[in-house]
Amino acid sequence: MMTMFMAPMIQTAKVSGATTVLDAIGNTPLLDLSEFAHQRGVSEDVTLYAKAEWCNPGGSVKARAALAIVEEAERTGKLSADKILIDSSSGNTAIAYALIGALKGYRVHLVMPANVSAERKALVKVYGATLIESDPLEGSDGAIRKVRALVAADPDRYFYADQYNNPANWKAHYRTTGPEIWAQTDGQLTHFVAGLGTTGTFMGIGRYLKEQNPDVELVGVQPEDELSVIEGLKHLETAIVPGIYDERLVDRHLPIGPESAWETTRALARQAGLFVGFSSGAAVAAAIQIAKQLDEGIVVTLLPDDGSKYVSLGIFD
C-alpha cells in the first residue's frame, strides 16, 4: 500500500524590524565636525554639524526628492507602467531614479552631461536605466535642454519628472530633512549652510527652519563664477534658474572657488575620516567661513554624497 506524504504547511510572517530599501531613505546621522572647524580657526564656542546624506540608499541626498517625485506622480496618475520616467541630472538624482525604477518596475531614461564621472554613468546602468549623454560643454543646462527636446518630440511616451521645477522636490525636504535637523539640534541651530543646485534641498529645509525660528540664518553656496565647476552646484546668475527656487528665502549668498572645495574635500578625508564628494567639500568650506565670523553659535551644513563617485576624476590622487 502506497503511503502519501504531505508537505508541512509553512506560515510566513513579517520579521519585526525588517524594512524595504525605500524605507531606509531619510533619518540620516548628524555628524559633529567641530574639531575639524576649530583646527581651522573657528571659535571653540562655535559648533559645526554636518548631515551625512550619503547614508541614503543610492548614496546621496537625492533619494529623498526622487522618491517624493515618483510617489506624487503615482498618486496623481502622471506615472504609470506604460510611461518612461525621464529627467536630466548631473548624476545623483539619476542614480536615485534608476534605483527606484528598478524597485518599482518602471523604465527610466536619464540625460546626463557626457563628462560626468564614469562611476555615475556605471551606476545608472547597474540599476537598468538607459543613459542619454548631452553636450559636456553645456553642463547641466545642456542636459535640461536635451530632455525637454526629447519630451516635446514624444510627450505621450514619457513622464517628465522635471526635478528643477517639481514642487515635490523641495517638499520632500520640508517634510523630512528639515524636521530631522531641527530635532537633532534640539532646535538650537543658528545657521544653515548648503549648496544650490536644483535648490530643492535648500528650499525645503530653509522653509521648515524659518517656520520654527525666523532668526535662523540661511546661507546659499554657489560656485564663484560661471567658469568654476563644482559638480552638483549651479552659478544661478548665468544658469537656467530652477522654477522651485525662491531668492527671498536666502539670507546670504556665499561664493566658493573650486580650489577651496577641492582642498576641503581632501582634508575631510585625511583629517576627519570623511570620504565625501566635491559639493560636500564646498559646503563645509562655506560653513567654516561662516563659523569663523561667529563668537558663538551652531552651524549646520549638509553633505550631499560620498566620494565613491568621484574617484575617476583624480580628486584623491
Q: Count of CB atoms within 10 A of residue 124's CB?
A: 25
HSE of 255, CA atoms in CB hemisphere, 13 A? 11
Question: Active-site residue numbers?
Answer: 62, 279
Q: Count of CB atoms within 10 A of residue 24's CB?
A: 13
Q: Kindly state the cell numbers that stand for 176.
A: 523630512
User: Largest alpha-carbon pair distance within the chain?
Assistant: 92
Residues in contact with 116: Cβ distance below 8 Å, sequence separation at least 6, in sequence order = 90, 91, 231
CA angle 261, 264, 269 (to 5 degrees): 130
CB 194 within 8 A of CB 205: yes
Residues in contact with 9: Cβ distance below 8 Å, sequence separation at least 6, in sequence order = none
| Cα–Cα distances in angstroms (integers) from residue 127 to residues 61, 102, 189, 259, 305, in the given order | 18, 6, 38, 33, 18
Looking at the DSSP assignment, which residues form a beta bridge with residue 130?
109
CB 70 within 8 A of CB 91: no
Distance CA 14, CA 104 (A): 20
Distance CA 188, CA 216 (A): 9
Nearest to 92 by CA among 20, 178, 195: 195
- Containing 30, the helix (H) or strand (E) segment is strand 30-32
Nearest to 130 by CA among 118, 112, 113: 112
